[in-house]
Amino acid sequence: MEGRDEETKETTKPKAKAVIVGGSIAGLSCAHALILAGWDVVVVEKSSAPPTGSPTGAGLGLEPSARKLIEAWLGRAEQLQDATLPLAVDQNNATDSEKNVSWVITRDEEFDFRAAHWTNLHGLLREELPPTVMLYGHVFLSFSLSNDKTEVRVKTKVLKTNDTIEITGNLLVAADGCLSSIRQSFLPNLKLRYSGYCAWRGVLDFSGRENSEAILGIKRAYPDLGKCLYFDLGSGTHSVLYELLNRRLNWIWYINQPEPELKVNLLGNSLTMKVSSEMIQKMHREAEKVWLPELARIMKETKEPFINVIYDCDPLERVFWDNVVLVGDAAHPTTPHGLRSTNMSISDATVLGLCLKKWGVKNLQSALCEYQSLRLPVTSKQVLHSRRLGRIKQGLPVAGWEQFDPLTTNREEWQELQQKNMPFFNEVLLPENSSI
């Protein structure tokens, strides 16, 4: 009987608990990975309800390794396949605006990414979590550690009641984005680095308009839409175009300019600018001068385009302190050119979960040390490669390069533009003796 009593005590002892701040894809991914590791989790999210649309999130590309990790979290692996479209081809085009012509300079037909809409992926991850995990309408205020550093106490404000409540756990996971207030508490002097350019973005819903002149024209000009990630490169600028599920076209146009003055609400954690009708009309006029008329028309017919100001950050030297760990954009703000932000967040979550499972809560510091040792070399190289790729495509100075112009450079330089040159491309370094 005594042995059975000991066994019962062992199986009923409380689980380790993590408090995750931030309910975006990084936070939800961490929730899945830590639940698989045997932890209790709660996700603190300032939004009052799940998102139903996300203009700032728009489209994203998922590499094969990230899809494998997500499928392990979902109840049915086919869910992810059904919610995405293939990006089987990575293609770079050069565009001569004066002659109004475009031609292929690189084409990789073994790309094997898939295109997702931010809201769709977020919904898939959220719906597979227990309903008690998400705490919507809770604004993170502060945190503190117990004297013996075995617990972390997180204070939040409940928007509905204006009450302040305290949530206690063994680990605080900062998934609060590139403007992370938790990171700032450890690195108060850290500044984001402006890239030198901003991005106009938009998603055109063409459902019911499949035979319109604009859609027929864009499909003639870009015949592999629905399976291809297109990059168009002009002199000192570039754009991105690909199709999303449910007849939507996602486009991005990067424009070199001085850093704009941003009035950023830190609680909003956004680097998206509101735009006026005059700014949109000016963008339309400039697009007609730079891009093929078919692409310029898609930009003109898109409702509510917006501007992202593009920042990244020099790689951090560490991503955890005591019982606090950074993941996703809080750990490695990056430019979007290597399709890294979401893919790195998913890998962060997986590796963190496996390290916690391997070491257990009694060896939390060892778990976080291993997480850091596995992720920092990868994310640091990927952030810097993405920075370099963006500067090349924008014709900005890059060490060891002449100023890039797609109309005059040689074939050897073109190969640098391909996504497969990303360090650790489609590779996740896991803890020793761990597997997915």
As a whole number, the mean pLDDT across the chain is 92
Its domain, for residue 384, covers 15-421
Q: 152 and 19 in contact (C-beta within 8 Å)?
A: yes
Beta bridge partners of 18: 41, 171
**Model confidence at 197: pLDDT above 80:** yes
131 part of a folded domain: yes
1 part of a folded domain: no
* Domain of residue 90, CATH code: 3.50.50.60
Contacts of 424 (CB under 8 A, 6+ apart): 378, 381, 382
Of residues 241 and 75, the one with the higher pLDDT is: 241
Q: What is the dihedral angle through the alpha carbons of 83, 19, 16, 134, rounded to the nearest 10 degrees?
A: -50
3 part of a folded domain: no
Q: What is the distance, to the nearest Å, from the Cα of residue 384 to the centroid of all Cα atoms in its chain?
A: 16
67 part of a folded domain: yes
In the chain, the number of structural domains is 1
Of residues 75 and 347, the one with the higher pLDDT is: 347
- 337 secondary structure, DSSP code: G
Tokens 């993170």 appear where?
140
Contacts of 304 (CB under 8 A, 6+ apart): 55, 202
For residues 364-374, give the mean pLDDT.
98
**Model confidence at 412: pLDDT above 50:** yes
Q: What is the pLDDT of residues 262-293, one digit of tens each?
A: 654 433 445 888 899 999 999 999 999 999 99
Residue 183 in tokens? 């990171």
Q: What is the pLDDT of residues 37-53, one digit of tens each?
A: 999 999 999 999 888 76
**Model confidence at 58: pLDDT above 90:** no
pLDDT band at 57 (very low <50, low <70, confident <90, very high): low
352 part of a folded domain: yes
124 part of a folded domain: yes
* Rounded-to-integer distance, Cα 185 and Cα 143, Å: 10
| Nearest residue to 386 (alpha-carbon basis) of 307, 428, 329 | 329
431 part of a folded domain: no
Q: What is the pLDDT of residues 200-213, one digit of tens each?
A: 999 999 999 999 99
DSSP codes joined into one string, 165-196 = EEEEESEEEE---TT-HHHHHH-TT---EEEE
For residues 338-365, give the mean pLDDT.
97
378 part of a folded domain: yes
* Rounded-to-integer distance, Cα 361 and Cα 127, Å: 27
**Model confidence at 391: pLDDT above 60:** yes
Residues recorded for the chain: 436
